[in-house]
């Protein structure tokens, strides 16, 4: 999955960018308190993308 597509999906679930790390961006959903790192790769493997979406859903 493309990184931009993943960001769009988690943004629709209420995730917002918390901070930039060295190799990852940290997203948080303030309603649920869920926090997850998203790697800065153009292509993110499907199992990882599904796991990130699961955290925010």
Q: Residue 30 maps to which CATH number?
A: 3.30.920.30
CA distances from 25 to 12, 22 (A): 17, 8
CA distances from 42 to 2, 30, 34 (A): 6, 26, 23
Q: Look at residue 19 in the predicted model and tell me its pLDDT.
A: 96
Place 26 in a pLDDT band, splitting at 50, 70 and 90.
Answer: very high
pTM score of the predicted model: 0.91
Place 17 in a pLDDT band, splitting at 50, 70 and 90.
Answer: very high
The total domain count for the chain is 1
The boundaries of the domain holding residue 17 are 3-56
Place 8 in a pLDDT band, splitting at 50, 70 and 90.
Answer: very high
d(CA 49, CA 3): 9
């Amino acid at each position: 999955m493309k990184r931009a597509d993943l960001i769009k999906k988690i943004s629709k679930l209420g995730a917002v960018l918390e901070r930039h790390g060295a190799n990852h961006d940290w997203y948080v959903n303030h309603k649920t308190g869920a926090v997850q790192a998203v790697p800065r790769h153009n292509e993110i493997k499907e199992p990882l993308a599904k796991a990130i979406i699961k955290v925010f859903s």
